[in-house]
Amino acid sequence: MIGKGLLQGLAVTARNLVGSYHDPDRYTTIEYPEVKPALPEAYRNFPFLVAEKAEDPLGTLRCVACQICEKECPPQCIYIVMDRDEKGKARMKPKVFDIDTSVCMSCQICVEVCPFDAIKMDQVFEIATDERFNALLLHRDQLAKTNTYFHQIHPTEAAEVDARLAAEKKAAEEKAKAAAAAKAASAKPAPAAPANPTPPPAPAP
């Protein structure tokens, strides 16, 4: 009958009107500045540098200023200067670590190439500033954030990184121990060296 479809349409809109007041599945609006959206764990935008300790973030950066990320960065938004002592010997940490977020395209390549898990992706998306150049150029003191923070924003990835780092550290310690033992054994004249074989190296993660 003519008009049945019209009434069905009116019923649909009426259901939406009433449902939007009590059904959260219908009413999906988040009133953003007051209510922050719950970001998915895999959400990422700009990189940050992982530091071990909150009280001394710049001193405990994992970054060793190897400059791989600087070379790999497609838009070349990373700038690193190695920290050196008076004799010109590298201190294995960055003196300058800048990321220009106006250039960064959030590709995560820096994170993928970093052999030290020192640079990871952040979740801070409210980066609007009233200044065009310097405010968007982040320095290492702004970039340094603790491992605890990393655990908060990306728990799965952080746990995996921590487990791998712990395993590597353990393997390195055991290797050092074995090397020390082997050294001690070779220093001794005793011929019992094959009786104390070195443990197999830990499998590469």
Partner 1 sequence: MTTTSVPSSESWLEVAPLQARDALLGLLPESLHWIASSVLAIAVLVGAFGLMFAYLTLAERKLLGRIQNRPGPNRTGWAGLLQPFADAVKALTKEDIVPRDADKVLHALAPVSLVALSLIGLAVIPFGRHLVAIELDAAVLYFFAAGAATELSIFMAGWASRNKYSLLAAMRALAQLISYEVPLLLSVVPVVLVAGTLSTTAIVAAQGGWAAGFWPHWHVLTPWGFSAFCLFMIAALAESNRSPFDLPEAESELIAGHLTEYSGFKYALFFMAEYFGMAALSAMAVTLFLGGWQAPLGWLEVLPSYVWFAAKLLALLAGFIWIRATFPRLRIDQLTRLAWKFLVPMALLNLANAAFWSLTAGWSGPLQAVRWAVSLAAVVVPFLLLSRSLFSGLGPRVYRYAPS
Q: Which of 28, 37, 115, 187 binds partner 1 (CB under 8 A)?
A: 28
Q: What sign has the CA pseudo-torsion 190, 191, 195, 201?
A: positive
3 scored as a contact of partner 1 (CB under 8 A): yes
Q: Select from 8-16, 70-78, 108-116, 131-139 the region that touches partner 1 (CB under 8 A).
A: 8-16
Among residues 6 and 187, whose Cβ is nearest to partner 1?
A: 6
| Lateral strand order in the sheet of 137-138 | 78-84, 90-100, 137-138
Q: Judged by CB under 8 A, does residue 19 bind partner 1?
A: yes
**34 lines the binding site for partner 1 (CB under 8 A):** no
Nearest-angstrom CA–CA distance, 80 and 98: 7
Judged by CB under 8 A, does residue 35 bind partner 1?
Answer: no
Smallest gap from Cβ 26 to partner 1, in A, equals 5
Provide the mask over 97-116, with x wherever binding to partner 1 is found by CB under 8 A and - wherever it is not.
--------------------
Whichever of 17 and 81 has its CB closer to partner 1, that residue is 17
Query: Residue 119 and residue 157: Cα distance in Å, rounded?
Result: 12
* 96 in Cβ contact with 79 (< 8 Å): yes
Query: Does residue 2 interact with partner 1 by CB under 8 A?
Result: yes
Sequence-separated (6 or more) residues with CB below 8 Å from residue 45: 106, 121, 122, 123, 124, 125, 127
User: Residue 48: which of 63, 67, 68, 60 has the closest Cα?
Assistant: 63
Contact set with partner 1 (CB under 8 A): 1-3, 6, 9-10, 12-14, 16-17, 19-21, 26-29, 31
